[in-house]
Each structure stands twice: as structure tokens, then as C-alpha cells.
Amino acid sequence: MDFRSKLAAVWQRHDSLLCVGLDPDIARFPAHLKDRSDGVLAFCKGIVDATADLACAFKPQIAYFAAARAEDQLQELIAYIHERHPAVPVVLDAKRGDIGATAQQYAREAFERFKADALTVNPYMGFDSVEPYLEHSDKGLIVLCRTSNPGGSDLQNLSIEGGRKLYQHVAALVAGPWNVHGQNALVVGATFPQELADVRSIVGDLPLLVPGIGAQGGDVEATVRAGRSAAGTGLMISSSRAILYAGKGEDFADKAREVALATRDEVNLYRA
């Protein structure tokens, strides 16, 4: 099943727009996992098993695994998700941005080594930095558009020819000529609900990955009302730290589930 089909199915099956971010910071692990050689994998498996039925996607951030020398554990984690929770797509959050042969290798890393369903990429170098990923026609390409950080305005909010903002131009490209296989999506932050609404008006029902709720303080109601599609879906609303570190003891996974459930249900209040 291709990325868009898998995502559409899980939106309905789990009645959820919640994307659970997997950003494993060993310094914040429960004490019983900090010194384990497989602690990253054990921690993430606990979170995954506790939240899988509440999630529309899992989003491991590759930097956390690489910094902990745990890329092999990331590979094993994604294989575990595919085996135990096959309905839930995996978005590898790497924000790759390069051209030609280098981009081809990043694509192989994401889709052949890690076997992710989708990958986040940076469009700053233009279409030839995106094109190599399109060789994997069933995989999702999630392109940075209007990011949740304040500094995103330095470039993304610049006015270009015709008065359109740069992020609006990116949205139109990704939903239009760059969407070669119909598997594209965009990253738009919850911290900018008006821009989120602008993007939705440009891209129709294209999926949007929306970071910025939870620890970053984005407003859930404003996010859902601005970004939902006509069908009441269209969003992967990502929360990482608020879920991952809700508990500090051996019951960390149970605490994570409580927060994930509350977040999923809060999001659902505003979908209609």
C-alpha cells in the first residue's frame, strides 16, 4: 500500500489525526533504561506499543538516534512497527536537502535501509533536490513549507513576485508540478494557524504534517480548524516530548498513553 493510501486508511481505522514523534533523549529516559545498550529501542518500543491504536503515524527523528549511535536500533524499531502495527505509517524525520547522487543515497537510506513510508525533505535547492526521491513512487515526500520555529519567517515569509509569500509558492509547487506520484505532503507548523489555513486553501486535500502542539505550545483548536480537509482529516498533528516524557518511572509507557489519548480526543473535538 502506498503512503497516501495507508494514511487515509489509518485516519479512519484509528479515528485519529495524532502523529507520535519519537525523539529519544537518553538523558530523559527512566532510570531503568538509561544504562541499557538497547535502551533507545526499548524506550521507543514501549511508547509505540502504548500509543499505536491512537496514532495515525509515528515520526522518528533521525538525529536523536544518530547522536546516540543507535541507527541500527532505529532500523529495528521501524521493522518492529511494520510487523506489530502495520496499519501505522512511519515518517522518517530527517529534513534532507541535497542534489543528484547524494539525494539518491539519502533516498536509499530512508526507503531501502530504514524502510520508512515517508521522509521529510528541504526544498531550498529546488526540484532537482526533490526529484531523486520520486524514484520511490509509493513513498511519501513531506516537504518543509511553513515551519513552527520563529526563525522560519526569515525566509519562508518573504514576499516574491506577484505578492505571494515564499511558503505559499512552495505549497503550490509541492501540490502541483512536484506531486508526480500523488504522494507528496507538506510540513506546516501549528504555531502559525493563519498560514496553515492559507496552505490548506492552496493544496486542497494534500496531507499536512503539523508540528508545534504540546511542548511548543501550538493551539489545538486553531490548528484543527485551520488545517483540516473537507473530510475532517488531512492532518498528521505531531506531538513528541509531551507524550514521550509524560512519565519518569517504569510506568512511562502508561503515562505516555494517557497524554496521547487526551491529545487524540482533544483534536477530535474540532474535526467536524
66 C-beta neighbours (distance < 10 Å), count: 12
pLDDT of the residue at 217? 65
Q: Order across the sheet with 140-146: list the strands.
A: 57-60, 18-22, 235-239, 208-210, 184-188, 140-146, 118-121, 91-96
Confidence of residue 150 (pLDDT cuts 50, 70, 90): confident
Known catalytic membership, residue 59:
no
Q: For 226-269, what is each residue's pLDDT tens digit?
A: 999 999 999 999 999 999 999 999 999 999 999 999 999 999 99
Q: For 35-84, what is each residue's pLDDT tens digit?
A: 999 999 999 999 999 999 999 999 999 999 999 999 999 999 999 999 99
The mean pLDDT of 121-135, rounded to a whole number, is: 96
State the burial class of residue 98 (Cβ atoms within 10 Å of its Cβ: 0-12, 13-18, 19+).
middle
Confidence of residue 86 (pLDDT cuts 50, 70, 90): very high
79 C-beta neighbours (distance < 10 Å), count: 13
Catalytic entry in 45, 95, 165, 248: 95
Q: For 91-113, what is each residue's pLDDT tens digit?
A: 999 999 999 999 999 999 999 99
Spatial contact of 203 and 169, defined as CB atoms under 8 Å apart: no
